[in-house]
Amino acid sequence: MRKLRIHKGLALALLAAQALAAQTYGLGRPVTAEEAKRADVTIGPEGRELPDGRGTAINGAQVYEVRCKECHGEGGVGGDQAALIGKPEQLRESPPIKTVGSFWPHATTLFDYTRRAMPFEEPGTLTADQIYAVTAYVLHLNGIIEESFELNRETLPGVQMPNRDGFVRDPRGTSAKP
Amino acid sequence: MGRASSTRRAFLGSSALAGAAWTACQSPAPDSEPAPVAGSLGAPVRRYGERSPFEKGVRGVRSTQTPEAASSRTPLDETFGIITPSALHFERHHAGVPQIDPTNHELLIHGLVERPMAFSLDDLKRLPSVSRVHFVECSGNSGGEWSPAGAPSVALSHGLASCSEWTGVPLRVLLDEVGVQPGAGWLLAEGADACLMQRSVTLEKAMEDGLVAYGQNGEAIRPEQGYPLRLILPGWEGNTNVKWLRRIKLTVGPQYVKDETSKYTELMEDGTAWIFTFEMDAKSVITRPSGGHTIPSPGFVEISGLAWSGRGKITRAELSTDGGQTWSDAELQEPVYSRAFTRFRLPWRWDGSEAVLLSRCHDESGYVQPSRAHLIEERGTKSAYHCNRIKGWRVAADGSVTSAEA
């Protein structure tokens, strides 16, 4: 038993030595997984990083009224800032109408951007429940989900956006000709 | 003392051209003649300089309800050579300019790495550094050039591009320090501004020539340009050069954040959109003479401008003074740096008749700057970003210069 413990200790020491050896300069501060997780506000398209919380378009309408309408307009159109409502067919109009409903490929992006950057003058002040709710409201106005559909970390990644397949990787390549 | 003044005399004697101007600001040496003109004392030394009050070039700013999410444009016709003065570097912010105390700022690198780590400014300044001259260009630059008329001045048409000498740590050094795990293919870069601006970029580019920069034109990066730390991805659209850089997360794929899906993508006529259009295509523009200028009289005028490419060095700049019927090669200012402004010049004798000036550049990948018609043939008219068509300036018989229809 004692011998085994020594072997384990040796193995750990060897691993630590290897890790140290891979660093050339020895500068910078090691960060624990917990600290990195606290700083990590990324939300990818699969939504694995979504927080707890829930909301429907019904409560989202109230959040929108108070925190969003002034800039984005009644019902998500007609405001001074970006219109939020539209259909992919409108991408072929002149000028094209690029909105959450017509253009955005992932529903998770709406949650992420609202959480990071909205409301414009007070980003970071909405609760997770409020963000799920207002996300649901905007998706509902676009006809993408039902009014009573509850968004949460399980359901949001499954929401299919109308323009999900509308993007193609840059076809210019690295030696593109005009 | 005697030695010092004799050194000064020797220096003055050796620079005859500068002598006249130079002696006017010096107290005369004991054995010299009195200054030929009486002068009054000038301003004393000062700790941080400012330009002459006679110089008026400023960034162009359009009035908007949200000046924190707006842009300002470099007056390219007021700059010389290839370096943009830091105070005139264009701006594009999405949630204002944060004020960051560098002693409280760290760069966190985490995700698919062996050792998540945070680097302070002191750490970064101890690490191996490089200085490189690179342009940064908003991919919305020249958006007005999709129209036949084009913008009336070079600040309005091309002023969302600037060029600086950037100093910092190659991103590869930092990524080697944290140890990138197999399977990582992209990274997410995040700023410390109010919207936590984010972009996904490829690990390949980060390792090739990505730079975590703290210096701009010999001093700390300006707040508007990302103080104390920004990402520089040479030749890639400006928005990926994340300012106020605070976090890098190594990931398998891109995160499809708002500013790489709903913005900074190019819509085609069929409704599909190009995504991750990172490289800026080769572009050139004549900066002098340009829209808004007036050539006072017929005679000699040097035509001068800037060319740049996200794919490497500019190899050739051609100029036409007859609307594209004939072309001449302009002289490129040496050294030509990769993914940097390149100054070109052509001597010209204006005969006083109407003329249309055009510039067209080539880069080392073989790319040739397209005409508006050629660009529209390829991309339609809805893509908004990445317009790099040939720009023309019309010189009228009275010497006034305006945008030439394309």
Position B377 pLDDT exceeds 90: yes
Give dist(CA A67, CA A149) in Å, integer: 21
Residue in chain B closest to A168 (alpha carbons) equals B274
Give dist(CA B25, CA A127) in Å, integer: 65
pLDDT of residue A85: 97
- pLDDT tens, position by position, A91-147: 999 999 999 999 999 999 999 999 999 999 999 999 999 999 999 999 999 999 999
Put simply, the answer to whether A120 touches B66 (Cβ < 8 Å) is yes
Q: What is the pTM of this model?
A: 0.89
- pLDDT tens, position by position, B300-325: 999 999 999 999 999 999 999 999 99
Structure tokens at A161: 């956006």
Stretch B247-258: mean pLDDT:
97
- Range of weakest confidence among A22-26, B276-280, B366-370: A22-26
Whole-number average pLDDT of chain B:
92
Comparison of pLDDT for A142 and A2, the residue scoring more: A142
For the stretch B145-184, what's the b/e string if a residue is b when 16 or more beta carbons lie within 10 angstroms of its beta carbon?
bbeeebbbbbbbbbbbbbbbbbbbbbbebbbebbbbeeeb
> What is the distance in angstroms between the Cα of A2 and the nearest Cα belonging to chain B?
30
Put simply, the answer to whether B262 touches A104 (Cβ < 8 Å) is yes
Verify cis geometry, omega within 30 degrees of 0, for the bond prior to A95: yes
Q: Calculate the alpha carbon distances from B136 to A72, B160, B231, B329 in Å.
A: 31, 8, 11, 25
Residue A12's pLDDT band, with cuts at 50, 70 and 90, is low
- pLDDT tens, position by position, B162-219: 999 999 999 999 999 999 999 999 999 999 999 999 999 999 999 999 999 999 999 9
Q: Could you give the maximum distance between any two Cα atoms of chain B, in Å?
A: 82
> What is the distance in angstroms between the Cα of A176 and the nearest Cα belonging to chain B?
6
> Which residue reads 């050792």 in tokens?
B115
Position B13 pLDDT exceeds 90: no
* Residue B312 with chain A: CB contacts under 8 Å: none
pLDDT of residue A22: 72
Residues linked to residue B266 through DSSP beta bridges, in sequence order:
B274
Residue in chain A closest to B196 (alpha carbons) equals A116
Stretch B380-395: mean pLDDT:
97
User: Hey, of B250, B267, B281, B362, which one would you mutate to test binding to chain A, going by the most A CBs within 10 A of its CB?
Assistant: B267
Which helix (H) or strand (E) segment is A107 a member of? helix A107-117
* Contact map slice: A 17-36 vs B, CB within 8 A: 19, 22-25, 27-33, 35-36
pLDDT of residue B332: 98
* Residue B191 with chain A: CB contacts under 8 Å: none
DSSP B145: G
> What is the distance in angstroms between the Cα of B287 and the nearest Cα belonging to chain A?
23
Put simply, the answer to whether B257 touches A175 (Cβ < 8 Å) is no
Position B1 pLDDT exceeds 70: no
Count other C-beta atoms under 10 Å from residue B328's C-beta. 13
> What is the distance in angstroms between the Cα of A168 and the nearest Cα belonging to chain B?
5
Residues 6+ apart with CB under 8 A from A31: B108, B110, B116, B117, B118
pLDDT of residue B401: 98
